[in-house]
Each structure stands twice: as C-alpha cells, then as structure tokens.
Amino acid sequence: MARGVWYFLSSKIFLINLLILAIVLTLLFFVTTGWMKSYTKHGSHLTVPKFIDMDIDEAKRIGEDKKLNLIVIDSSTYNPKVEGGIILEQSPTPSAKVKEQRSVYLTISKSIPNDVVLPDLVGNYDATNYARKLQRKGLKSQITDKIFDANQQPNTILYIKIDGKKYTDDDISKGVSIAEGKVVDLIVTDQGGTFTDLPDLNCLSYSEAKFIINSYNLNVGSIINDATVKDQNSAYIWKQRPVFANGKTINIGASIDVFLTQFKPKNCN
C-alpha cells in the first residue's frame, strides 16, 4: 500500500496537477492582494486642509473636492463677536494624513444664542459675586449706576436693567430668561466718593439736627450728653465734630458727632 501511494505521488499526472494548483494559488494571492491595496488605497493618503476660521459652506466644497466626509457639530456657547457658521475647531488637525472618505469633525459657531435664566438676586446681592454667576451662564455685566445708600454695604445690587428695562429681585425670582451673550446692567449702592457741604448744627435742637443730617445724606455719629440732658430730642447742640466752617465739605454717608446740653447755649441767638 505504501508503494502504491508513493507511485501516485511521484506520478506525472499528480505533479502536473500540483504545479497547476500552486500556480492558481499564487495568482489568486497576487490578485487578492492587488485588489485589497486598490480598495483600501494602500500607501496613498490625503493632507487635511485647515478648515478653522472658514465658512462652513466653503469647507463643504473643499471637503467634497478632497473626498473627505465632513461632520458638523454646533458649538455649545454663543459668541456675539463671531458670525454664525464659522469653523472654530476641527479633528483631525490641519496637515494630518488621512485616507479618502475619512470623517473630519468640525465645530462651528452658533448662529442663534441660547436662552439662559438669570440667577436669583436673593443671597447674591454682592455685584462681584453676581457678575461671576452671570459669566458662568454666558452673560456679561457692567455697573452702570451707583446710588448712595448708607444702610447697605457698598456694591450691593439694588436692581438690574436689560436693554433699558428694570428688573427687581421679585421679578428675577419668578424667572427671567434672556439671550446668551447679553449685557446685564447692575445698579449698586455707594457710600462714599461724593462730597456734600458740612452743615452747621450748632444751636439746633437734636431733633432738628437729625433732620438736617439726613437731608444731607449723612449719619449721626456719637451722641455725647452733658450732665444737664434729661430729654435728648429737645436738647441743644453746643458742639459738633467735624467742626463747622464755611465751605467745608464731607463725604456723603459720613457721620457727625454731636455734643448735647439741655438748655440753649448763651451764644445762640
């Protein structure tokens, strides 16, 4: 049996068939390899153009010419300084080597801003802190007016304005939506920096002096009674600090100390 197998394997017919099979397999290998190289474009590549700062319509024309698959993604934020449809980012980066039909992801600027809800003023009355909250929501802010208020800390928000319309904390607590990128005007308190005339309080009763002090947007400081004072409101001022002088000024919101005596001083008319 072994001799029969040997005669078959060494026969001319078997060897011819074996040679034909080898030739067919070799041809099939080269044909398949060549087809795969052609199909995958083995060894060929494209250079990705720079799409950044380009209009999306122009980018699409170039992508079609370069046989690239462009995938457009809207930016998550709106920038009023950038026209809508402008490419901000791309992946792969410019000059990268890729195959034909490679996907290139393009992030474009938004044409329409998002609507955002204003943060509550309650608990956020400090203008600096509120400005940070607005910035995180894509909004801008500016202090457009300062109003004297001796009872609150400087830079406390009294109300806001958007496009000239006034909004109080009550309005905002109900929900106010505005377009991303808008400017919010802040109207805040102020306690100094502006001067007023120093009033002459000498010889006035304390009740009269309080009225004058308030009308000048000033505050009553220390009240020093002498031994005669029984009724402070009807007592008279015989001395003040700062001392009055013609033409002398004082910061708005400052305090004036008053010295009281129960009876009208002799030097008063």
The three state secondary structure string of 173-204 is HCCCEEECCCEEEEEEEECCCCEEECCCCCCC
Rounded distance, CA 137 to CA 76, Å? 12
Rounded distance, CA 15 to CA 10, Å? 7
Whole-number pLDDT of residue 123: 81
pLDDT tens for 245-256 read 998 988 877 889
> Domain boundary residue among 147, 166, 190?
190
Domain co-membership, 123 together with 98: no
| Residue 39 within any structural domain of the chain | no
Domain co-membership, 185 together with 148: yes
| Residue 154 within any structural domain of the chain | yes
126's CB contacts (< 8 A; 6+ apart) are 153, 155, 156, 157
Q: Does the reported pTM lie above 0.85?
A: no
143-182 exposure pattern, b = at least 16 Cβ within 10 A, e = fewer: eeebeebbeeebbbbbbbebeeeebebeebeeebebebbb
Domain co-membership, 128 together with 184: yes
Whole-number pLDDT of residue 100: 81
Q: What is the CATH number of the domain that holds 119?
A: 3.30.10
Checking if the pLDDT of 201 tops 90, the result is yes
Nearest to 192 by CA among 249, 257, 248: 249
Q: Return phi, psi of residue 29, to 5°.
A: -60, -50
Which H or E element spans position 102?
none
Rounded distance, CA 95 to CA 49, Å? 6
Domain co-membership, 137 together with 91: no
Residue type, 33: T
What average pLDDT score do residues 131-158 get?
84
Domain co-membership, 179 together with 123: yes
**76 versus 215: which is more confidently predicted?**
215
pLDDT tens for 12-28 read 776 677 678 778 788 88
At 10, the pLDDT band (50, 70, 90 cuts) reads: low
Domain co-membership, 199 together with 186: no
Whole-number pLDDT of residue 226: 94
Q: Return phi, psi of residue 179, to 5°.
A: -75, 140
Domain co-membership, 68 together with 51: yes
| Residue 4 within any structural domain of the chain | no
Whole-number pLDDT of residue 109: 87
Q: Which domain holds residue 173?
A: 115-190
Checking if the pLDDT of 2 tops 80, the result is no
> Domain boundary residue among 144, 171, 190?
190
Q: What is the CATH number of the domain that holds 250?
A: 3.30.10.20
Checking if the pLDDT of 38 tops 60, the result is no
Domain co-membership, 94 together with 125: no
Domain co-membership, 121 together with 102: no
Whole-number pLDDT of residue 16: 77
**177 versus 217: which is more confidently predicted?**
177
168's CB contacts (< 8 A; 6+ apart) are 121, 159
Instruction: Please state the separation of Cα 144 from the chain's center in Å.
Output: 18
What average pLDDT score do residues 155-180 get?
91
| Residue 134 within any structural domain of the chain | yes
| Residue 88 within any structural domain of the chain | yes
| Residue 33 within any structural domain of the chain | no
At 39, the pLDDT band (50, 70, 90 cuts) reads: low
| Residue 268 within any structural domain of the chain | no
Number of domains in the chain: 3
Domain co-membership, 119 together with 186: yes
Checking if the pLDDT of 200 tops 80, the result is yes
Neighbours of 37 (CB within 10 A): 12
| Residue 10 within any structural domain of the chain | no
Domain co-membership, 183 together with 120: yes
> Domain boundary residue among 149, 170, 190?
190
Whole-number pLDDT of residue 23: 83
Computed over every residue of the chain, the mean pLDDT equals: 84
Domain co-membership, 182 together with 120: yes
Q: Which residue has the tokens 């004072």?
A: 229
